[in-house]
């Protein structure tokens, strides 16, 4: 629990540092604080098996693992933020603070034990993100992204709340344990309100993670927001959304899986189809990443569909692999946008000759996202497919394998452009911070691909 307290206090500290014009100290202090929070989440491993604060939060190993991966991804994104916010405005302390506040909301989302905390966590995270999407105040695309994200986010919150209200009406409690007991006490006589509540909760949560057909806001918001914020939204936020999703379904709704499983199967198949097919037609790297993130949501939904003892582990591994690879891709995207001014696929031509290191790490990222063996992404997909097969969703897995093949096409477009197309270009300047992030992430991707046991036994 000290993780949540540390991050909230850190956010306030950073805000005060900004007030006292200590601009140089902002990034080091944030990074040190996050490292502290990360070590605390390891330290709390297995120490709170009981719900705390009157049953509001449960900081079990699940919560500790997902806090760890979200904090680690935020740390990598903070390292990329060196000299990024300075180009947008001169008051940069607020940006760090708002990101940290949204991280605090995420910690609540992964460790809730009461639907009240689920709602509060999602809102703390979302309200901060509405601000972050619009930090380029003069930029129309950023404005539009902020408004669309805000309207769609608030709209989905309405559905989420209505779902919670119906669950409360049927079961008489917000506590996850009591809701579970309500189902188990009379599985045949669950009130119809409860089923309606589950459906509305699925709608609300699918909006938040961006699963088709509730994905339509995602490409625009991802494209319009500043690239660093997009990196944060498509990695950390998505991981947190799935952690919240899984916690609720694994703990509460698993006895009713016959009811909601077909719904989620449909959503997963739609996400795979729409995400992959639309990504093929994109001409810009950032928009391609947005659509590919929708298809990754489809893969991650597999773990929720085939609930068993290992679905938390498989979603953890998948989210870790996906986050690390996406952060590498976004680091390359930021460098390209800043120094070339465009992010179309043609702008990658000939990159391997001038920037061999950048091209190599971007290749590792693309291979991992495509799910090629010896990368972390392969292990993630493998675990997802095995868990889906173990519950006899054979057709879904066949469909997913076909879609993974489509995915290879658009991820390899980048690699082909970098290595096999020639173009006259200047060398991109890759700062030491970017080198550090790219090198570390590429090493982690390959290490996890070769030794998946490193994290697959964590939860």
Partner 1 sequence: MEAVTQSIQGVPLNHYILLSAIIFSIGVMGVLIRRNAIIIFMSIELMLNAVNLLFTAFSAHRGDAAGQVFVFFVMALAAAEVAIGLAIIVMIYRNTNSTDINVLNRLKW
Contacts with partner 1 by CB under 8 A lie at: 116, 119-120, 123, 127, 130-131, 134, 137-138, 140-141, 143-148, 150-151, 154-155, 157-158, 161-162, 164-166, 168-169, 172-174, 193, 216, 219-220, 223-224
Of 132 and 437, nearer to partner 1 (C-beta) is 132
Q: Which is nearer to partner 1, 158 or 262 (CB)?
A: 158
Residue with tokens 């597999």: 302
C-alpha to C-alpha distance for 334 and 230, rounded to whole angstroms: 11
Closest CB 224 distance from partner 1, rounded Å: 5
In DSSP terms, 52 is beta-bridged to 57
Nearer to partner 1, 158 or 373 (CB): 158
Minimum Å distance from CB 414 to partner 1? 22
φ, ψ (nearest 5 deg) of residue 8: -65, -45
In whole angstroms, the minimum distance from the beta carbon of 120 to partner 1 comes to: 6
**In the complex with partner 1, which residue's Cβ is closer, 2 or 89?**
89
Q: Which is nearer to partner 1, 226 or 377 (CB)?
A: 226
Shortest distance (Å) from residue 167 CB to partner 1: 10
Least gap, CB of 74 to partner 1 (angstroms): 21
> Distances from the Cα of 298 to the Cαs of 201, 244, 304, in angstroms?
17, 16, 10
Q: CB 164 → partner 1: shortest distance, Å?
A: 8
For partner 1, give the closer residue by CB, 157 or 314.
157
Sign of dihedral through CA atoms 322, 327, 332, 336? positive
Of 162 and 195, nearer to partner 1 (C-beta) is: 162
Peptide bond into 213 cis (omega under 30): yes
Comparison of 103 and 132: residue with beta carbon closer to partner 1:
132
Task: Give the relative orientation of helices 311-339 and 61-80 as an angle to the nearest 10 degrees.
Answer: 10
Closer Cβ to partner 1, 24 or 138, answer by number: 138
Q: Shortest approach of partner 1 to residue 282 CB, angstroms?
A: 11
Cβ proximity to partner 1, 130 vs 322, nearer residue: 130
Q: Least distance from C-beta 76 to partner 1, angstroms?
A: 27
Residue 95 CB, nearest distance to partner 1 (Å)? 15
Min CB(135)–partner 1 separation in Å: 10
């Amino acid at each position: 629990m000290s993780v949540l307290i540390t991050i909230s206090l850190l956010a306030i500290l950073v805000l005060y540092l900004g007030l006292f014009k200590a601009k140089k100290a902002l990034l080091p202090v944030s990074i040190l604080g996050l490292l502290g929070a990360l070590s605390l989440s390891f330290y709390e491993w297995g120490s709170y098996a009981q719900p705390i604060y009157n049953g509001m939060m449960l900081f079990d190993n699940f919560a500790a693992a997902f806090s760890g991966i979200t904090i680690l991804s935020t740390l990598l994104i903070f390292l990329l933020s060196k000299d990024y916010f300075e180009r947008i405005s001169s008051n940069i302390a607020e940006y760090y603070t708002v990101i940290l506040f949204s991280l605090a909301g995420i910690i609540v989302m992964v460790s809730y034990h009461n639907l009240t905390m689920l709602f509060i966590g999602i809102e703390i995270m979302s309200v901060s993100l509405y601000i972050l999407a619009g930090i380029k105040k003069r930029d129309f695309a950023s404005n539009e992204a902020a408004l669309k994200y805000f309207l769609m986010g608030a709209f989905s919150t309405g559905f989420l709340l209505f779902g919670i209200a119906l669950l409360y009406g049927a079961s008489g409690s917000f506590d996850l344990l009591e809701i579970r007991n309500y189902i188990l006490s009379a599985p045949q006589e669950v009130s119809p309100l409860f089923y309606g509540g589950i459906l509305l909760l699925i709608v609300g949560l699918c909006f938040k993670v961006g699963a088709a057909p509730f994905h339509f806001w995602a490409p625009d918001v991802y494209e319009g927001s500043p690239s660093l914020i997009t990196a944060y939204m498509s990695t950390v936020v998505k991981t947190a959304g799935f952690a919240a999703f899984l916690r609720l379904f694994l703990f509460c709704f698993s006895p009713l899986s016959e009811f909601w499983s077909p719904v989620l199967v449909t959503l997963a198949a739609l996400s795979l189809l729409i995400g992959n097919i639309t990504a093929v037609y994109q001409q810009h790297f950032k928009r391609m990443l947005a659509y590919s993130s929708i298809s990754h949501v489809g893969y991650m939904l597999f773990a929720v569909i085939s609930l068993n003892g290992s679905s938390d582990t498989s979603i953890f591994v998948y989210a870790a692999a996906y986050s690390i690879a996406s952060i590498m891709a976004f680091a390359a995207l930021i460098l390209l946008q800043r120094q070339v001014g465009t992010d179309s696929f043609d702008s990658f031509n000939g990159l391997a000759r001038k920037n061999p290191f950048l091209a190599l790490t971007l290749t590792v990222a693309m291979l991992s996202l495509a799910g090629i063996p010896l990368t972390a992404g392969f292990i993630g997909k493998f675990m997802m497919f095995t868990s889906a097969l173990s519950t006899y969703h054979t057709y879904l897995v066949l469909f997913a394998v076909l879609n993974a093949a489509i995915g290879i096409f658009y991820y390899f477009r980048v690699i082909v452009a970098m290595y096999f197309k020639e173009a006259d270009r200047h060398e991109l300047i890759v700062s030491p911070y970017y080198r550090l992030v790219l090198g570390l992430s590429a090493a982690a991707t390959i290490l996890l691909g070769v030794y998946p046991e490193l994290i697959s036994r964590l939860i």
